[in-house]
Chains A and B, each alone.
Chain A
Amino acid sequence: MKLYVKSLSMHLKSMLEYKASFIIAFLSQIMVFFSYYFIILSLFDKFDNIKGFTLYEVLLCFSIIQFGYAFCETFARGIDRFDRLIISGDFDRLLLRPKNIFIQVLSSDADFIKISRLIQALIIMIISLINLNISITPLKVITLFLMIISAIVIFFGIFLLAASYCFITIQGLEVRNLFTDGGKHMAQYPIGVFKKGFLLFFTFVIPYAFVNYYPLLYFIGKSNNVLYAFTPLIVFVYLIPCFLAFKLGMKKYQSVGS
């Protein structure tokens, strides 16, 4: 863990060497991701609800998912870009070192420009919380906290799965975007607005629904089922097969040579 923190600060230092370009890239990220929010804002300019969810409820859902994704892109970029480690053969170098391989992969890269999206998501989250008028109870605070954590965990799990896939082949890796980008896009809305098949798939195959749908229902008072508040915990269970897949992949791993 110390190693990870240390390498994070190294990555940060190296990025801050070019201050002007860091700041410009930082600002441009905010602009680029504004376009996501733009869709929601324009649609709610024309309509007043989506299957009973109001603007700020959707924005809350949206910002939590964005937060989780941006968090993983910033701090788990080494896993996100695992295919590069394999292609370049740098993974072999990491294997030679007497440290935990997993921490090493994690520390191999970090992208602090994506913090701009973290901040943006946080701001939108706060704005929607203020506008939502929710009677805050301790359990609801816990629910919100669990939702945010599970959003991070689920993207971490998907990144891990994609990384394990790299052990088998690095071809057709764009499919990964379907589950990260595509899933993220979809999970920005409360999953209940989609058709049954989608809801089932994203409950049981990739458990997005436990991140932002069932707990959201409890949080905004659409459901009084206290169990819903703890559904984000299921996402942690999802991490186990993801880790196993990575471990299995590593056992089978043969170097690409050179």
Chain B
Amino acid sequence: MRFYLSYFKLRFITQLQYRKAALAGIATQFFFGLVYIMVYLAFYESSSNNGPMEVGQLVSYLWLNQAFFALIYMYYKDNEIFNMIKNGNIAYELLRPKKIYFMWFSKIIGQRLADVALRFLPVLIVAFILPYPYGLSLPSSFLSLIMFLITLTIGALLMTAIITLYHVLTLSTLNEKGITNIFMALADILSGGVIPIPFFPVFLQKIANVLPFRYICDLPFRLYSGNISVSDGLFQMLIQVIWFIILVLIGNVILKKILKKVVVQGG
């Protein structure tokens, strides 16, 4: 455990170096946030019927989505890992007396957390200052803030488990494009990262609710604004933890199977 923690810390610190890139990231996130909010508000203003979420809750959702973008975005490919698989350097990795799954896991989460650490605060601060209806509201209660923080953390772990899983799968497919891309696009939609799940057509809402992806961003962001109540949230948090454990187990089992017949590419 200590080994993985220090590996995580190393990755975290390395990624913190990219501060200028983060600046551009902040600007982008901010711009996208504003554009999305204006689009949704325009829809709300021009329709007589109310949307499926309250405006304040929706705007908060959209800002949190932008601020914690790196924690919920499913399109993530670690090129170092992919290159390792393709050029055969994975052999060295396999020689180490450590579990490769957890090494990748800590590497990925370290990078993502550093990305978020560099970006989320400026976005949140500006979003708080913005006037109604563009601004981010305060959490609906102290308890919902706590629940938000806990579920966001577990959500980040869950996301990393999913991302690690398709990095593991690449070991046998040797192709990180194609099917992986389709999977990521679907996961991105079903997590509520593209558009909040209450806006989905009803049958898709049902599908999204039984899959693990919505626990990455839909759950924490709606908890924050009170769209999901704290008592409901507690139960859903339990499901979130179970999904996380299941996905880590699946990743480990598959990795074991693949490693039994692994062919190292190149030499």
* Residue ranges of A at the interface with B (Cβ–Cβ < 8 Å): 21, 24-25, 27-29, 31-32, 34-35, 38-39, 42-43, 45-52, 171-175, 177-178, 181-182, 185-186, 189, 193-195, 198
Contacts and interface: CB of A to CB of B under 8 A. Distances in A.
B188 to A, nearest CB: 7
Between B31, B39, B195, the greatest number of chain A beta carbons within 10 A of the residue's beta carbon is seen for B39
Interface stretch (B121-129, B175-183, B214-222): B175-183
Interface in B8-64: 20-21, 23-25, 27-28, 31-32, 35, 38-40, 42-47, 49, 51-52
B218 to A, nearest CB: 14
B47 A171 contact: no
Nearest to A176: B24
B175 A21 contact: yes
B185 A31 contact: yes
Given A50-B46, A172-B24, A42 B200 contact: yes
B189 A35 contact: yes
Between B23, B38, B178, the greatest number of chain A beta carbons within 10 A of the residue's beta carbon is seen for B178
B3 interface: no
Contact of B186 (A31, A46, A174, A194): A31
State the majority secondary structure of interface residues on B.
helix
A38 B42 contact: no
Given A21-B177, A47-B46, A39 B194 contact: yes
A32 B185 contact: yes
Nearest to A34: B185
A182 B35 contact: yes
Given A172-B21, A174-B21, A193-B39, A35 B46 contact: no
A1 B179 CA distance: 37
B43 A28 contact: no
7 contacts: A172-B21, A172-B23, A174-B24, A181-B28, A182-B35, A185-B35, A194-B35
Between A27, A31, A48, A177, the greatest number of chain B beta carbons within 10 A of the residue's beta carbon is seen for A31
Nearest to B186: A31
Contact of A50 (B20, B43, B52, B189): B43
A182 B28 contact: yes
Contacts, number: 106
Contacts of A193: 38-39, 42
Contacts of A42: 195, 199-201
B192 to A, nearest CB: 11
Contacts of B188: 35
A24 B40 CA distance: 34
Nearest to A186: B35
Contacts of B27: 175, 178
B200 A28 contact: no
Given A34-B185, A35-B189, A51-B45, A178 B195 contact: no
A178 B24 contact: yes
Contacts of B24: 172-175, 177-178
Contacts of A21: 175, 177-178
A51 B177 contact: no
Given A31-B181, A38-B194, 18 more contacts: A21-B178, A24-B177, A24-B179, A28-B177, A42-B200, A43-B39, A46-B199, A47-B43, A48-B47, A174-B24, A175-B27, A177-B28, A178-B24, A182-B35, A186-B35, A194-B38, A195-B38, A198-B38
B181 A32 contact: yes
Query: What 4 A-B pairs come out closest when comparing CB atoms?
Result: A24-B178, A174-B24, A28-B181, A47-B47
A21 B181 CA distance: 12
Contact of A178 (B31, B38, B40, B51): B31
Nearest to B184: A32
Nearest to A29: B181
B126 to A, nearest CB: 15
A218 to B, nearest CB: 21
Nearest to A44: B43
